[in-house]
Amino acid sequence: MPVQGGARSAQEGPSLSSVTGDLEGTSSRVCPRGQVCPPASLEGLSPCVCELVLSGDCCRPCCLPGACGAARVPSVPTLLSPQCTKARLKVTEKDLKSLQWEHEVLEQRFVQVQRERDELYGKFTAAILDVQQKTGLRNLVLERKLQALSAAVEKKELQLNEVLAASNLDPAALTLVSRKLEDVLESKNSTIKDLQYELARVCKAHNDLLRTYEAKLQAFGVPLDNVGFRPLEAAVMGQSLGQGPAGLVATPT
């Protein structure tokens, strides 16, 4: 194949046939340096023969398709030279090492996040169990106190009725005794209401904490089937305690 634009002599570098071979149907171009460029590579760029001879790096293109002024015709794919293949292999190995390093870093971060999640789950579960035990014991004590006070009030009322029925008091003395009794009953009723309110507040706080715990478990993707926590449902004199919106506690009436 003839060389255009004044090719170098055979002593200065290899000829076109020694580099690319005489392939039929290929297209060659003349480089501004005077060497003949082989057909375009697989990437659409043309590694120049003069660059290959002078630097030994065939992956550095000297001209884009059509820059040498030679018309291109459809050609068969050209095989990459061993030097270019080695250079590409080095780049690929470097990219592989970088990806492996990133993968290792991500794995370490994943393990750390899993460890933090397990620690948080353990602490939260322990806190819930502790709160549940304390609130359960406190609710039991309050309920027993409330039952004892209710029984005492009923007993005192029966005793008073018996005393009033057995005694022949004048209306003024009876009014005075009734007023004192009403004061005592009012004080006892106030104490009962305070205990009922305290019981409702404790039940509500426990239920709110339990709902927060369940929401956190759902956010972390932990199933709630085997948790085993149940809301406290205290019923005093036909009234349900511990219900209502978060942060609100209704006083039993």
Decide if pLDDT at 128 tops 70. Answer: yes
Going by pLDDT thresholds of 50, 70 and 90, the confidence category of residue 209 is: confident
How do strand 36-37 and strand 29-30 relate by DSSP bridges? Answer: antiparallel
Q: Render pLDDT for 62-76 as a digit per residue (tens, 0 to 9).
A: 444 444 444 444 444
Among residues 126, 133, 139, the alpha carbon closest in space to that of 213 is found at: 126
Going by pLDDT thresholds of 50, 70 and 90, the confidence category of residue 241 is: low
42 vs 166 pLDDT, higher one = 166
% of residues, the chain, pLDDT over 90: 9
Decide if pLDDT at 21 tops 50. Answer: no
Per-residue pLDDT at 160: 75
Going by pLDDT thresholds of 50, 70 and 90, the confidence category of residue 234 is: low
Interatomic CA distance for residues 176 and 23, integer angstroms? 130
Residue ranges per structural domain of the chain: 1-80, 121-241
Interatomic CA distance for residues 21 and 78, integer angstroms? 10
110 vs 182 pLDDT, higher one = 110
Amino acid, single-letter form, for residue 132 = Q
User: For all residues of the chain together, what is the average pLDDT?
Assistant: 68
Mean pLDDT, residues 195-199: 85
Amino acid, single-letter form, for residue 79 = L
Per-residue pLDDT at 68: 44
Among residues 14, 12, 15, the alpha carbon closest in space to that of 1 is found at: 15
